[in-house]
Structure 1
Amino acid sequence: MKRLVGIAALALIVVPLRAEAAPNKLQAGLDEVVRTAGVGAQVEVHDRGKVWRGRSGVAEVGTTRPVPLDGHFRIGSITKTFLATVALQLVAEKRLRLDDPVSKWFPEIDGVTMRQLMNHTSGLYDVLYTLPRPPEPEFYANRWRTWTADELIQRALVNPPTGKPGEKYKYSNTGYLMLGQIIEKVGGRSYTRQIERRIIEPLGLDQTSLPGTKPSIPEPHAHGYVPKPDRTLLDYTEMNPSVFGAAGEMISTTHDLDRFMTALLGGRLLPPYLLKQMKTPGTKDGHYGLGLAWIDTTCGIRAYGNDGDALAYQAWSFTTTDLRRRVSLVLTPNFATDSDDVVDPYLNKAFCS
C-alpha cells in the first residue's frame, strides 16, 4: 500500500471558478434539481484546479435558512466504497482473497465468493425488501429501533436467492452487511474502527463518522425528510442508523467525500492491481465493480464513485481518473419525483461544462 502523500494539501484553498458560464449553468441546474425533486441541495465541483461550491433550496421546511455549504449528511451506500476499500486493503495484506468462499464465515451460504459479495452478483436476497418503507405505516414505528447485523442478515436469508452466484448483477445490501462482519473477523477489529484507522484518520476526514446507533447528525446540517402516509413531509433528520449498518450508516460532507474519492482514485489507498479490480464490473457491460460504480457522460468522460440513499438524504460523489474533474452532491429529497431523473443530467452537465 502506497504511503499517503499530499492528502492534507487537497482543497485547503478554495479558488472560485470565474464568474462566467460554468458556475451560472451549474447554479441554474442545481436550482432546477431542487425545484423538481428536493427541499435543499449542496454541491462541490472541482474543475481542473478550481472549486465551486453551490447550494439551493432551504435547510429546513418552513424557514428561509440556506443549506450550509459545509453541511453534514448521511451518505448511504457510499459507505460501501469505504468498506470495500478496507476489504481490498486486507487482500493486499494477504489476509483475504477475492476468491475466498463466503462459506468460510457463513456456512449456510453456498457457492458465493468475496468478489461476488462485493460486486452484487451473489444472488443474495436484499434485506431492504424485507423492511417497511415510507409511507407504509409500519415504517415509522421502527425509527428508534436498534437493529443488529445478524438480525438483518437472517431476515434476508429466509428468502430464496435472486439467482445463481455470478449469474447476474442484482444489488444487495445483505452482501455488505456480511462483508462488515467478515472484515471484523479477519481484521480483528470492528469494521467501524478499521474504516477509521485505515481511511478516516490518515486522510484527515474530520467531518466523517460512523454513528452506530446514535440518532443525531453533527452541526451544521440540513434537515432531511421522508413522506408521511398523507404525502406531506416528516422531519427524519434524527433516526437510529443501525438499520443501515455496514451497508450505509456513515455521515460525511461534500468536502470529505471529495477528499476520499481523490485519494482512492489517485492510488493512495490501494495498489494499482486492486484499484483495477475495484473498477472491473461484475457483469458484461456493467457499471459496478467492487464497491465502486461509474457513470459515462454524453461528452465521453467516465467518472468513478458511488451514490447513496439514506432515506432522508441522497448523495453522489464521482471523479475522473485524472482527478481533474470531481463532483460531490447531496439532496434532501421531497419525493415528488425520482431524483435520479434530474440529478443524472446535472452530473452530466457538471462534468461536461
Structure 2
Amino acid sequence: MSQQVTDRSGPLGTIARRCKGSGAGRRGVAALALVAAGGLAAVGVQHAEPAQAYGPKKDSIQANLDALVRAGVAPGALASVRDRHGRVTNYTAGVNDLRTKAKVPTDGYVRMASNTKMYTAVAVLQLVDEGAVKLDEPIETYLPGLVRGNGFDGRTITVRHILEQTSGLPGYDQPHVYEYGNKYYEPRDLLDSAFAKEATAPAPGEKMQYSNTNYILAGLLVQKVTGRPIGEVITNKILKRAELSKTYWPGVGDKTIRQPHAQGYLPDPETMKWVDTTQLDPSIAWAAGQMIATPSDINRFLVALQSGKLIKPATLAQMRDSNIFLPAGEAMPELAWQYGLGTIGFDLSCGGRAWGHGGDIDGYSSRTAITSDGRAVTIVVTADSSPVADGVFRVLDAFDAALCADKQPSQGR
C-alpha cells in the first residue's frame, strides 16, 4: 500500500497511478453492483425538491453510491446533484461513525482538498480582470527573488505557467498524515522543501507537471498584490459574492470541521481497518488544498463561476482554453482529461464536456464538475485511499453517471 499523503501529486491520486494498465475502463452500474464486499448499510436519498421532479435516472445515482460503499471503497459517500433547471438533490450512503453506525449527514461539510485550486485560480484571475496581474508576466514581477533553486528561475516562469501546472517546479515533501496532521506549516516551509530538489522537468511551458508548489505560489501572489491574506481575499471576493455560506477557509491551527460533517477515514496498512483522520491540520496544502465546504456549496461555486458572477466571460474562456493533457497515469487515457487554469475539462460518456476539479486529502476524495447547460455534480467518498484496487475508477464512473443522469437526449454525440 502506498504512503498516505495530503492532496496527492496528481488530481486523481496514487490509486490511479497504481491501477494504470489494470484494464479498468468504463463500467456500468450493473458491473459496479456485482463487486463482492462486506457492505455497510446504505442511507437513502434526500430531495431538496419533490421526488417526482426527477426522472428514474436519478435512482441510479443512489445505486452507484450504495455500490461504492458495498464494494468497500469507503465507509460512506455523499453527493449533491444540480440539474439543468437548478433543482438540487442530495444523496448519502454508508455510515459516518463506524462505532455508533450514525448516518452520513446530508450535504455535510468535507475537506475539499485540491478543489481549492479552483478558488485560488479565480482569486488570481480576478486580479487579471482588475489589471493588477498579467497572465504572461513572469512570477518574478510579483514575487521578486522568491523562485530560486536548483535550476529554477522566476524570471522564466509566468503566472500562466503556474496556474496551468507547466512551470516545471517540483512538489514539496508530504509526510504521512500521522506526522503532518498535528503540525502547522508556513507556505515558505513548503517552498523550501520544493526548491531544495533538482530540476527534472522540461523548460517552463513545455509540459504539465502537477505540483502543489504552483498553487502555494499562486496564493502568495494574491497576498502580495492585495496586501491581504489569501483566505480573506477568497472569503470576501468569492464566497461572499457567490453567497457560499457553507464554504470556508480554516483558521490558523484549526484541525476541526464544522458540524454537521462527514468523518474521513484511511485504511491502516497492516490491519486494513478504517482509521478516523477527520481532524488534521490542513496547512500543508494551504492555497493548493486547505478549504472546507459542503457538496452543494461547491456546486454553487461552479454555477457562480460559469454565470460570470466571479470573473469575466472572456477570462473564464481562458481558464478553460487548454491543450494540456494530464500526464499518463493521472487519468484513464480514453477520458482525455485536460488542465486549464486551475480547472480540469473532460468528455462525458453521454456526450459533451464538463469542467471542474477533484481533491484528495487523508479521509476524503471528491470530484466536482459542471456542464455547459448548468448540470453540476459533486461526489465525495469518505476515504482517499481504498483497499479496493480500482476504487478511484469506480468513483469516476459514478461521477460520470451522475453528470449524465439529467442529460437531454438531443444533446448526445
Please give the alpha-carbon distance, in whole angstroms, between the structure 1 residues aligned to 2:77 and 2:50. Answer: 19
Report deviation, 1:245: 0.7
Please give the alpha-carbon distance, in whole angstroms, between the structure 2 residues aligned to 1:121 and 1:182. Answer: 17
SS at match of 2:240: helix
Quote the residue 1:315 is aligned against.
Answer: 366
Distance 1:112 1:16, change over 3 A: farther
1:235-261 deviations in Å (ceiling 9; x for gaps): 110011111111100000012111110
Please give the alpha-carbon distance, in whole angstroms, between the structure 2 residues aligned to 1:123 and 1:315. Answer: 26
SS at match of 1:186: helix
Quote the residue 2:267 is aligned against.
Answer: 227
Quote the residue 1:3 is aligned against.
Answer: none
Q: Which amino acid aligns with 2:166?
A: T
Kindly report which structure 2 residues correspond to 1:255-334, keeping only aligned pairs within 5 A, or say none.
255-281=296-322, 283=324, 287-323=338-374, 325-333=375-383
Q: TM-score, normalised by structure 2?
A: 0.77
Q: Which amino acid aligns with 1:116?
A: H
Report deviation, 1:351: 2.0
Q: Report which stretch shifted further, 171-180 or 305-314.
A: 305-314
Please give the alpha-carbon distance, in whole angstroms, between the structure 2 residues aligned to 1:327 and 1:116. Answer: 28
Report deviation, 1:101: 0.6
From 135, 138, 146, give the equivalent of 1:101. 138
Please give the alpha-carbon distance, in whole angstroms, between the structure 1 residues aligned to 2:93 and 2:48. Answer: 19
Please give the alpha-carbon distance, in whole angstroms, between the structure 2 residues aligned to 1:17 and 1:277. Answer: 38
Structure 1 residue 192 corresponds to structure 2 residue 231: yes
1:117/1:179 contact within 8 Å kept:
yes
Please give the alpha-carbon distance, in whole angstroms, between the structure 1 residues aligned to 2:55 and 2:247. Answer: 33
Quote the residue 2:295 is aligned against.
Answer: 254
Q: Which amino acid aligns with 2:174?
A: L
From 203, 210, 225, give the equivalent of 1:164. 203
Please give the alpha-carbon distance, in whole angstroms, between the structure 2 residues aligned to 1:172 and 1:331. Answer: 23
Q: Which amino acid aligns with 2:180?
A: N
Q: Which amino acid aligns with 1:113?
A: T
Quote the residue 1:23 is aligned against.
Answer: 58
**Which structure 2 residue ranges, 5 or more long, are not aligned?**
1-46, 326-335, 406-413
Q: TM-score, normalised by structure 1?
A: 0.90
1:16/1:52 contact within 8 Å kept:
no
Quote the residue 2:174 is aligned against.
Answer: 131
Q: Which amino acid aligns with 1:199?
A: I
Structure 1 residue 46 corresponds to structure 2 residue 82: yes
Please give the alpha-carbon distance, in whole angstroms, between the structure 2 residues aligned to 1:272 and 1:91. Answer: 13
Query: What RMSD in Å do the two structures reach over aligned CA positions?
Result: 1.7
1:176-212 deviations in Å (ceiling 9; x for gaps): 0011111100111111110011011122211111113
Structure 1 residue 61 corresponds to structure 2 residue 98: yes
2:241/2:310 contact within 8 Å kept:
no
Quote the residue 1:339 is aligned against.
Answer: 391
**Which structure 1 residue ranges, 5 or more long, are not aligned?**
1-12, 134-138
SS at match of 1:141: helix
Quote the residue 1:117 is aligned against.
Answer: 162
Q: Report which stretch shifted further, 310-319 or 75-84.
A: 310-319
1:121/1:282 contact within 8 Å kept:
no
Aligned residues with identical type, % of pairs: 35
Q: Report which stretch shifted further, 335-344 or 269-278.
A: 335-344
Question: Which aligned runs of 4 or more in structure 1 are off by greater than 6 angstroms?
Answer: none
Distance 1:232 1:293, change over 3 A: same
Please give the alpha-carbon distance, in whole angstroms, between the structure 2 residues aligned to 1:347 and 1:40. Answer: 15
Q: Which amino acid aligns with 1:342?
A: R
Distance 1:263 1:327, change over 3 A: same
Please give the alpha-carbon distance, in whole angstroms, between the structure 2 residues aligned to 1:145 and 1:207. Answer: 26
Q: Which amino acid aligns with 2:278?
A: T
Distance 1:86 1:20, change over 3 A: closer
SS at match of 2:296: helix
1:68-87 deviations in Å (ceiling 9; x for gaps): 11200100011000010010
1:25-63 deviations in Å (ceiling 9; x for gaps): 111111112222111011111223233211100012233
Quote the residue 1:14 is aligned against.
Answer: 48
Aligned residues: 333
Please give the alpha-carbon distance, in whole angstroms, between the structure 1 residues aligned to 2:50 and 2:281. Answer: 37
1:17/1:23 contact within 8 Å kept:
no
